[in-house]
Structure 1
Amino acid sequence: MKYWTHLIIIIALGYFLGQWLPWWMISIVAIMSAFLLKHKFGLSVMFGFLAGFVLWAGFSLYLDVENQSILSPKIGLLFGGLSSTAVIAVTGLIGGLIVAMGSAVGAAIREVVPNYITE
């Protein structure tokens, strides 16, 4: 259950903080979430990737629908003729990797810091 909490925290805070702060703040949220919720390393990275992918691909899809798919084909042409769906998938992949790296850092710090400091 705590892994789903990790996912929900990253998506919710990442969305709300992303409205006012730089895009990379989602990695700080992932670091803090993985550290404070005491996750195992592999599952933390997996759920972090899933949260980042869902957030970035979902928001990219929302923006694509809002502008009637005008911008994504033009962006796709810049990258070798990708379709709108591929542009959204690549955006989700990039977001997933960023959050997975943040979750990995948080989980690694958690393993390194002695238990008596963090309990």
Structure 2
Amino acid sequence: MKFIIRTIIIVVAAHFSLLYFPWWSMAICAFFAGAIIAGKNLSTFFSGFVGLGFLWLIQAFIIHNDSGGILSNKIAELFGLSDGIYMVVISGIVAALVGGFSTLSGFRFRKMFSRNKSRGLYR
């Protein structure tokens, strides 16, 4: 349940931050979502990965279709790719990695300041 809530918060906050701020503002939204809603390492990473990857992929695909793929095709030629849709997919993967690592960084930042509740033999 925390995974779904964290993912939705990331998508909504990043969408509205991208309307007014640069692209890296989505990483800040993912960082704070990871810091606010606790979870496990893998769950936290994948919520940012899925949230920002999905958001960026959908937005890039909409821009690609609205413009007829003019810009993405030209950039794909620079990279030696045959079609501009590959650039849309690659940018979605990059955004997903940024989201995953940002959310994980926020979670680890929170964990850095929390106390360890389990008192083992050597603690």
TM-score by length of structure 2 reads 0.88
- SS for the counterpart of 1:9 is helix
1:77 correspondence with 2:77: yes
Shift of 1:81: 2.2
RMSD: 1.4
Count of residues in correspondence between the two structures: 116
What does the per-residue CA deviation read over 1:1-36, in whole Å, with 9 as the maximum and x for residues that have no partner? 111111111111111110111111111111110111
- SS for the counterpart of 1:39 is coil
- Larger of the two Rg values belongs to structure: 2
- SS for the counterpart of 1:19 is helix
Q: Kindly, what percent of the aligned residue pairs are identical?
A: 24
1:104 correspondence with 2:104: yes
1:19 correspondence with 2:48: no
2:61 partner letter: L
Structure 2 CA distance, aligned partners of 1:109 and 1:40? 13
Structure 1 CA distance, aligned partners of 2:94 and 2:30? 15
Shift of 1:84: 2.0
Unaligned runs of 5+ in 1: none
Structure 1 residue aligned with 2:90: 90
Task: Could you list the structure 1 runs, at least 4 aligned residues long, displaced by more than 2 angstroms after superposition.
Answer: none
Unaligned runs of 5+ in 2: 116-123
TM-score by length of structure 1 reads 0.90
2:103 partner letter: S
Structure 1 CA distance, aligned partners of 2:25 and 2:65? 25
1:41 correspondence with 2:41: yes
